[in-house]
Amino acid sequence: MSIRPIYLDSHATTPVDERVLAAMLPYFTQHFGNPSSNSHVYGWEAEAAVKQTRKILAEAINATPEEIVFTSGATEANNLAIKGVAEAYYQKGQHIITVATEHSAVIDPCNYLKTLGFEITILQVEKDGIINLNQLEKALRSDTILVSVMAANNEIGVLQPLAEIGELCRSQEIIFHTDAAQAIAKIPLDVQAMKIDLMSLTAHKVYGPKGIGALYVRRRNPRVQLAPQQHGGGHERGMRSGTLYTPQIVGFGKAVEIGLEEQKRESDRLTQLRDILWKQLSQLPGIHLNGHPTQRLPGNLNISVEKVDGSALLLGLQPVMAVSSGSACSSATTAPSHVLTALGHSEQLAYASVRFGIGRFNTQEEIDRVAEHFISTVQSLRKQATFV
């Protein structure tokens, strides 16, 4: 029996926690009702389960249950937020601001809106991956209707200053959206304190099932209007039609509940493992840490390696570890990571990058084994290169 590689790609996805799966299973076979069926017990059971998850998600971000709109994931939530605002507020203005290091689920909807006549300002980031608040303030205009800045970057893990961004937007009555797919239940989030108007969430980055997400939509101070992007039944207060997937929703709630309960302890543990890994890898010459050294997700380490071929590096690592060189959603492309090039890296460094996503089930023993194999692989590739 072959030994599977150590999984260190938790920013791409996470395994479903057994406690989450146990919570989901009854809603496939026993409590299988449609939550919109309000005339019998089967529907009432499903509706109660959905309401419970709304409550859990709302409490996780200091919102109200009525402000949680379920989607198929963060990609749909981002599209609903960005296109929904554009369509609802186009008479007020057609200017949107986002950031060069955003996920493609934000960049692509913005590029689509450009074809419809909207003007998109894409802010650059500092070398540590964090935006310059002065540049953001200068970019705000009287016709700006939306600012979209992700909470935690999916590649380099940096945490953007959400509260400061929210304050700037609120002072000029501009809607603030954040993609918090990587952040939910991992770092503290508070839509009131941070003045966030729209927040995209997903379950599968936090040990929940794939195929379920949510969008927080502020209902007051100010009330945010969204044009629905999917029609057919008026579900989710008319913002997202479609029969709710109760088992996935239950799993989402349980995953966030567990994440919140264990957040402090797990954050400390992952930070320790990350720092141990970086201390060992940084002994190699020509190793670059991508992103802010501390203002980042606890389990994230993204590095670039000089004097090695990126494809050869990943190939050499594969027998021992499952890692990636960037976003899983763009892994089929041959272009270097747009996030790393935005940091000012050369194509060589951008290609020769590795994203380590340390997760709930990783151990220090695994981290030590990964570091040892990584160092030996880099050293071997460099020796081979000198004889080419």
Residues with a known catalytic role? 329
CA distance 270 to 359: 7
Bridge pairing between strands 287-289 and 300-305: antiparallel
Report the sign of the C-alpha dihedral through residues 205, 315, 274, 348, in that order: negative
Give residue for tokens 């151990």: 363
- Residue 71's Cβ-count burial label (10 Å; 0-12, 13-18, 19+) is buried
Element (H, E) at 111: helix 104-114
CA distance 311 to 295: 29
Q: What is the CA radius of gyration of the chain?
A: 22
- Per-residue buried b or exposed e for 274-295, using 16+ beta carbons within 10 Å of the residue's own CB: beebbebbeebeebbbbbbeee
CA distance 37 to 21: 25
Crossing angle of the two packed helices 104-114 and 74-89, in degrees rounded to 10: 30
CA distances from 373 to 3, 289, 319 (A): 15, 18, 10
Helices (H), 38-95: 41-61, 74-89
The token pair at 380 is 């071997």
Give residue for tokens 């989607």: 71
Nearest 10 degrees: Cα torsion 339, 344, 350, 353: -80
